[in-house]
Amino acid sequence: MSTTRTTCPYCGVGCGVTVEGGVPRGDREHPSNFGRLCSKGAALKDALNLPDRLQQPMMDGRAASWDEALDRIATEFTRIRDTHGPDAIGFYVSGQFLTEDYYVANKLMKGFIGSGNIDTNSRLCMSSTVAGHVRAFGEDVVPGCYEDLEEADLVVLVGSNMAWCHPVLYQRLMAAREKRGTQLVNIDPRRTATADMADLHLPLAPGGDVMLFNGLLVHLVDAGKVDRDWVSEHVAGFDEAVAAARATAGSVELVAAATDLDPTDVLRFYDSFARTERVMTLYSQGVNQSANGADKVNAILNCHLATARIGRAGMGPFSLTGQPNAMGGREVGGLANQLAAHMGFEPESVDRVGRFWNAPQVARTPGYKAVDLFEAAADGRLKAIWIAATNPAVSMPRADLVRDALRACPLVIASDAWPTDTTALADIVLPAAGWAEKDGTVTNSERRISRQRRFCAAPGEARPDWWMFAEVGKRMGWREAFAFETPAAIFREHAALTAFENNGRRRLDLGALATLDDAAYEALEPVQWPCPASGQGAGNSRLFARGGFSTADGRARMLPLAIRADAKLAGFPLILNTGRVRDQWHTMTRTGRIPHLMTHSPGPRLALHPRDAMLRGIVDGGLARVTSAQGQTSLRVEIEPGLRQGQVFAPMHWTDQFASSGPTDRLVHALTDPVSGQPDLKGTPVQVVAL
Ligand code: SF4
């Protein structure tokens, strides 16, 4: 019986999967999960052959051939570009893309159409971390690896329900804790399954993270825990960062009052961090999905940089990526403010990428970030948008405005494996090959590139996303640039671009992989970057212990960080926090079709603190109307004592297809982080009344 080794498609942990006789199981050889899978990964066999697949291109509601659909897209893009300029076209893609899909889409938009207007749903997931990394390290680099979880003595989880959202890493952490007694601190306004297992849970007031970590920085300085030699050699901005921290969070009492925490608990956390050398701080969407997410990230990085707790065994800041290939997308330039291969839009990078692609009209400025992209579609600046492998009609803030934007935009193309609320609004729908049906690579949270391998035929006429973008590029006249025949050829070009004139400027260097022949690509084992052709530092699972940051002077930056005032809105006294439930993924396109994954959380529920419920006369299981400045919906209520009073929680998954309440994100405001452009998905002012 033949065995296929591939990777789970659901989250950024990037677990290896082996498939024998069509049955997926955890891959014992994969260094990220060693055979473990979570409930979603274990249900992968049920994700094969699901009903309702899109199988044929559709144009204006009728079946069309691929030639008809692709010719029309190419013709319309050319006309729009000639008439309105390249910025009148936009792509909105996905962390579900394989790196090869992302590479071709990005090359088409930024290199040849000539606009920066390609953004991704990773904007909603990780872009504050990207901004924080770039500001501190000069490049979007995760310094550590999963093994650090097993080598740490203290693990601090900030804004993360790791037990539900990164379950296999959580299993690794719990196994290590059994052996070495790892201390666990969970910083989260909501008491989750992760908080239940923590030695210390700090239910801070929403938005209090910068205050808390500024206070920690002050405490580390005062406790004599700064590594002065390391800082003076490898860090800039220390004095300014400490002065700003002292001005905002000069005492434990101040921090405790501002974050609504018990001062004894704050001090316990600070002391524990100060006296433990092997500390990891892991952070996820509670940090990222915020109007000051980038500052939250840098507040955490400041503490690790000041103490040189970075890049060594069991210590460092670590971002937990949400989507399976958010990292790969960031590597090829899938965000509107990146160009390619971790390069930005500096003139020398534009010139370098233009020469590499032999593309004379490379975009010179960043494009619209996700929220702005749909605003541009709504107000007529965009004349065409291509949405691929994502469902913004459900998952974007102000989901109803996004739907209106798609109705208003003259040409909407949607490529996906299943029909969604977004494909229902598209003029052209393209059937995409899904997991198990296409080949490529993904990069997980620890910089590990793994293969996804095909072991099933795609249904009907479904094709890989990279093929669709390449075909449009060829039909727009760029035959040579998009003459890709295989994912291996795309990967080689991507790897070569990371190495092109790199000369050690950026840690993302895959030069050693640029010469893989097709057989070697097929056999590629999971590998962590950097992988430079020189072999120096190849596969290094930890970075920066001896400095070498990707800034012009090689030094990291500590940032002075101010405290941001909360969003408050008269008439909306509660704060809506949106997030995930254990067994669902995104807008349920795949997991919502697997019956046993629906049993854990059978429907959308509004979690409400007992006192907030009592004040409104709402009982457990009762129906409530939730209203924000953006819209309203009705949800069943679940009384949750683990919430802070004044905060409510609702899952983001359910769509019109799966629940009459429609998308939770129709309530969510479009406030974004001014640095990263990431929406504040956890802080919408709402009112709740009994129905
Ligand atoms: Fe898949 Fe993530 Fe679960 Fe691993 S932890 S099996 S990658 S969903």
Q: Calculate mean pLDDT across residues 191-216.
A: 95
Residues 380, 584: Cα–Cα separation, whole Å? 35
pLDDT of 587 > 90? The answer is: no
**pLDDT tens-digit series, residues 98-115:** 999 999 999 999 999 999
* 15 neighbors 7 (Cβ within 8 angstroms): yes
> For position 131, what pLDDT does the model report?
97
pLDDT of 506 > 90? The answer is: yes
* 431 neighbors 402 (Cβ within 8 angstroms): no
369 pocket-lining for ligand 1 (C-beta < 6 Å): no
41 pocket-lining for ligand 1 (C-beta < 6 Å): yes
> For position 528, what pLDDT does the model report?
96
pLDDT of 400 > 80? The answer is: yes
590 pocket-lining for ligand 1 (C-beta < 6 Å): no
> For position 360, what pLDDT does the model report?
85
Q: Calculate mean pLDDT across residues 346-369.
A: 97
> Per the omega criterion (within 30 degrees of 0), is the bond before 530 cis?
yes
Atom of ligand 1 nearest to the CA of 39: 3
Tokens 């019956």 label which residue?
595
Q: Calculate mean pLDDT across residues 535-555.
A: 92
Residues 111, 515: Cα–Cα separation, whole Å? 23
What is the Å distance from ligand 1's center to 531 Cα?
25
47 pocket-lining for ligand 1 (C-beta < 6 Å): no
pLDDT of 588 > 90? The answer is: no
Q: Calculate mean pLDDT across residues 491-505.
A: 96
Lowest mean pLDDT among 13-17, 126-130, 411-415, 650-654: 650-654
Atom of ligand 1 nearest to the CA of 26: 6
Q: Which of 19, 33, 40, 172 to mutate to test the pocket of ligand 1 (most atoms within 8 A of CB)?
A: 40
* 441 neighbors 328 (Cβ within 8 angstroms): yes
- Give the range with max mean pLDDT: 85-99, 530-544, 659-673: 85-99
* 605 neighbors 643 (Cβ within 8 angstroms): no
155 pocket-lining for ligand 1 (C-beta < 6 Å): no
13 pocket-lining for ligand 1 (C-beta < 6 Å): yes
Q: Calculate mean pLDDT across residues 226-237.
A: 98
Query: Using CA of residue 304, residue 306, residue 311, residue 314, what is the dihedral sign?
Result: negative
164 pocket-lining for ligand 1 (C-beta < 6 Å): no
> Per the omega criterion (within 30 degrees of 0), is the bond before 317 cis?
no
pLDDT of 136 > 90? The answer is: yes
- Residue whose Cα lies nearest atom 5 of ligand 1: it is 168
* 155 neighbors 146 (Cβ within 8 angstroms): no
> For position 182, what pLDDT does the model report?
98
Fold (CATH) for 3-47: N-terminal domain of TfIIb (2.20.25)
**pLDDT tens-digit series, residues 644-675:** 999 998 887 767 666 666 788 888 898 999 99
Residue 595, C-beta contacts closer than 8 angstroms, at least 6 positions apart? none
* 87 neighbors 367 (Cβ within 8 angstroms): yes
* 573 neighbors 687 (Cβ within 8 angstroms): yes
Pairing of strands 623-628, 316-319: unpaired
What is the Å distance from ligand 1's center to 508 Cα?
25
**pLDDT averaged over the chain?**
94
> For position 659, what pLDDT does the model report?
65
Higher-confidence position of 652 and 325:
325
Atom of ligand 1 nearest to the CA of 37: 6
- Residue whose Cα lies nearest atom 4 of ligand 1: it is 15
Q: Calculate mean pLDDT across residues 585-614.
A: 79
Lowest mean pLDDT among 99-108, 511-520, 601-610: 601-610
> For position 121, what pLDDT does the model report?
93
> For position 450, what pLDDT does the model report?
97
Q: Calculate mean pLDDT across residues 296-324.
A: 96
Tokens 């974004």 label which residue?
672
320 pocket-lining for ligand 1 (C-beta < 6 Å): no
Higher-confidence position of 490 and 603:
490
Degrees to nearest 5, angle at CA 253 with 237 and 278: 55
> For position 660, what pLDDT does the model report?
66
Helix axes 293-306, 238-249, angle to 10 degrees: 120
What are the structural domain ranges in the chain? 3-47, 65-122+345-480, 127-320, 574-690
Q: Does domain 127-320 sit in CATH 3.40.228.10? A: yes
Q: Calculate mean pLDDT across residues 149-172.
A: 95
> For position 522, what pLDDT does the model report?
97
Lowest mean pLDDT among 140-154, 438-452, 601-615: 601-615
Residues in the chain, total: 691
37 pocket-lining for ligand 1 (C-beta < 6 Å): yes
Q: Calculate mean pLDDT across residues 545-563.
A: 96
Of the candidates 295, 332, 349, 310, the one whose C-alpha atom is nearest the C-alpha of residue 131 is 295
pLDDT of 685 > 70? The answer is: yes
* 205 neighbors 260 (Cβ within 8 angstroms): yes
Residues 327, 580: Cα–Cα separation, whole Å? 20
242: helix, strand or coil: helix
Residue 535, C-beta contacts closer than 8 angstroms, at least 6 positions apart? 512
How large a percentage of the chain has pLDDT more than 70?
97
Estimate to the nearest angstrom the gap between the alpha carbon of 617 and the chain centroid. 38
14 pocket-lining for ligand 1 (C-beta < 6 Å): yes
DSSP string computed for 114-161? ----EEEGGGGTTHHHHHHHHHHHSS------THHHHH-SEEEEES--
| Architecture of the domain spanning 574-690 | Beta Barrel (2.40)
442 pocket-lining for ligand 1 (C-beta < 6 Å): no
Fold (CATH) for 65-122+345-480: Rossmann fold (3.40.50)
Same topology between domain 127-320 and domain 574-690: no
167 pocket-lining for ligand 1 (C-beta < 6 Å): yes
Atom of ligand 1 nearest to the CA of 324: 7
Estimate to the nearest angstrom the gap between the alpha carbon of 330 and the chain centroid. 9
Q: Calculate mean pLDDT across residues 357-380.
A: 97
Lowest mean pLDDT among 225-234, 346-355, 542-551, 568-577: 568-577
541: helix, strand or coil: coil
Strands across the sheet containing 316-319: 200-202, 183-187, 154-158, 279-283, 316-319
Residues 180, 257: Cα–Cα separation, whole Å? 34
Residues 167, 558: Cα–Cα separation, whole Å? 32
Query: Using CA of residue 464, residue 470, residue 474, residue 479, what is the dihedral sign?
Result: negative
Give the residues across from 16 on adjacent strands.
7
**pLDDT tens-digit series, residues 289-306:** 999 999 999 999 999 999
Q: Calculate mean pLDDT across residues 557-573.
A: 86
Atom of ligand 1 nearest to the CA of 38: 3
pLDDT of 583 > 80? The answer is: no
Pairing of strands 183-187, 154-158: parallel
8 pocket-lining for ligand 1 (C-beta < 6 Å): yes
What is the Å distance from ligand 1's center to 37 Cα?
6
What is the Å distance from ligand 1's center to 128 Cα?
23
Q: Calculate mean pLDDT across residues 37-41.
A: 90
Pairing of strands 448-452, 605-608: unpaired
- Is the pTM value of this prediction over 0.90? yes
